[in-house]
Chain A
Amino acid sequence: MFEYCTDPKLIEGFQWWSCYLTTGKHMSFYFSFVVVLGLLALTVPFILLFGFTGALARRATFAPIRWFGTIYTSMVRGVPDIIFFLFVPIAMDQGIEIIRHKIKCSDWSEPIRQGNDFVVCAAAKMPLSSSPQWVHETYGFMLATIAFAIVFGAFAANTIHGALGAVPKEQLETGAAFGMSPKQIFRRIHLPQMWVYALPGLSNLWMILIKASPLLFLLGVEDIVYWARELGGSKTARFTYPHGDWRLGYFMFLLVFYLFLTWISEKFFDRIMHRLSRGQNTAAGMS
């Protein structure tokens, strides 16, 4: 990065550090913080979507939809996320490719499973093997987002389901007494009033989500933990900047980062909670 970095063996002290901390690998490390935060931010709407869908499905009057909602929330909550990520993304990827294969290569006669191999026609590959690396990375990123959303959506569904049930019945009955249709009651009273009950659970979920980011590596996204481990591991003379086992230092840095993120999040949720509680019939709202 700096001019004096051309031969790191000759420099030491501040110069060595300034060169070491600005290597391309460290840049990837810094960039991975952006990636992780971006992915977390991107996942939230999907989690809420899956959460709402799951919660509404569990309240559905049509039994099969209700079963679907119950099975989704209890199955996914029953499996540790780490195990879920070890096989579900590959399965999703193969599923998408099978559908594309059926549509695009209907004249293909060979079987998709040849022994151990999973073979689809070149046009069905997702993404195409000719597409540039960024397409592959974006696709992997999308897959990771969906996988995260499925897992955490199940927990969100549980929280939202509970919150929908916690809204005092009298409020809904008042709506009905004013002549509102069920749809109006849901959208104007039930949904807005639900948030104050769902927020503590959802904020807790967000805290858990932040700390699940190391699992991203299992999904092929090179996250902060991957780079910290990669950078902290001892480097022999083969590398430009040889050093011993520095994982402790890097992990301490991650610890500070996570604590900071938690602290910011707590402040943020406290403010929202304060605003939502205004005028509510709860302990915090009454004070």
Chain B
Amino acid sequence: MTFTKLMAGIALVALTTTSAIAGSHTVRMGTEGAYAPYNFINDNGEVDGYEIELGNELCKRAELDCTWVTNDWDSIIPNLVSGNYDTIMAGMSITAERDEVIDFTSEYFPADPSSYVALAGAGAEATTGTVAAQTATIQASYVASSDATVVEYATMEDTIAAVRNGEADSVLADHAALKDIVDASGGVLAFVGDDVAIGGGVGMGVRESDGELRGKFEAAIAAMKADGSLNALIAKWFDGRDAGY
């Protein structure tokens, strides 16, 4: 059968390529590349952002050889546990559910409140009407449990567009991500209502079986907190915000 021959051929190639020289172990860092200012693709087509600069610094301190990999948000955890990369730095809040499946380092960005954004001039009632959120985010489940009507869009871009064109009264998302957008809107969009605290700080995700790697990054994060360089980095990327580490 040609089919079995083909499968055998594929298997053979798969088994013989790049024979084991596992000496220099490169740490593959997973990120999404679509969540400015945490991580995004810059105009040169390279990953950039707070987490990229931080990750590179952590690798330098931990004396690791690191490389960045982008992955779709929806499958970012399954691909970590199946070993396609070794860490996640993607603006991921430390939550109890995620912690059951993967391990986190201690946070490298403090818990960021979520905020509502509506068209300028809207009152607080915009937060209880139709609220847009990105599918499968903690904000989406928060709105679903509240009295407001949740409407879920595939991307962050779509949620903002929904507010602009009147499909939704407001959008709920991370404050830091929304701030950029509100600033750039030229007064069309504005924060509305009270912030809500959902989710914990942002940490680096690693496999539960990868305690050694977690330890190295943990130490590097602690060192950066102690010498104030983490605060400086946050201030640089988040409009002078004082994280107070």
Contacts and interface: CB of A to CB of B under 8 A. Distances in A.
Q: Do chains A and B touch in the complex (CB under 8 A)?
A: yes
Contact of B43 (A25, A120, A222, A247): A25
Contact of B25 (A103, A120, A130, A146): A130
B186 to A, nearest CB: 10
A53 to B, nearest CB: 4
B15 interface: yes
Interface in A206-264: 217-218, 220, 222, 229-230, 233-234, 236-242, 245, 247
A218 B209 CA distance: 26
Nearest to A96: B14
B45 A24 contact: yes
A232 to B, nearest CB: 8
B64 to A, nearest CB: 12
Contacts of B3: 50, 53, 57
A128 B160 CA distance: 41
B183 A236 contact: yes
A246 to B, nearest CB: 10
Interface residues of A, number: 59
Nearest to A72: B3
A90 interface: yes
A119 B209 contact: yes
B157 A245 contact: yes
B102 interface: yes
B26 A130 contact: yes
A57 B26 CA distance: 44
Nearest to A104: B20
B215 interface: no
Interface in B27-81: 27-28, 33-34, 36-37, 40-46, 67, 69-72, 75, 78-79, 81
A189 interface: no
A125 interface: yes
Interface of A: 23-28, 49-50, 52-53, 57, 65, 86, 90, 93-94, 96-97, 99-100, 103-104, 114-120, 122-123, 125-131, 133, 135-136, 146, 217-218, 220, 222, 229-230, 233-234, 236-242, 245, 247
Interface of B: 1-3, 6, 10-11, 14-15, 17-18, 20-28, 33-34, 36-37, 40-46, 67, 69-72, 75, 78-79, 81-84, 86, 101-102, 155, 157, 160-161, 180-181, 183-184, 207-209
Given A115-B209, A118-B83, A119-B83, 11 more contacts: A25-B45, A65-B1, A96-B11, A104-B20, A117-B208, A127-B17, A128-B18, A130-B23, A234-B181, A234-B184, A240-B42
21 contacts: A25-B43, A25-B45, A52-B2, A57-B3, A99-B11, A117-B83, A123-B22, A125-B83, A128-B20, A129-B25, A129-B28, A130-B21, A146-B10, A217-B72, A218-B72, A220-B71, A236-B36, A236-B180, A238-B36, A242-B184, A247-B157
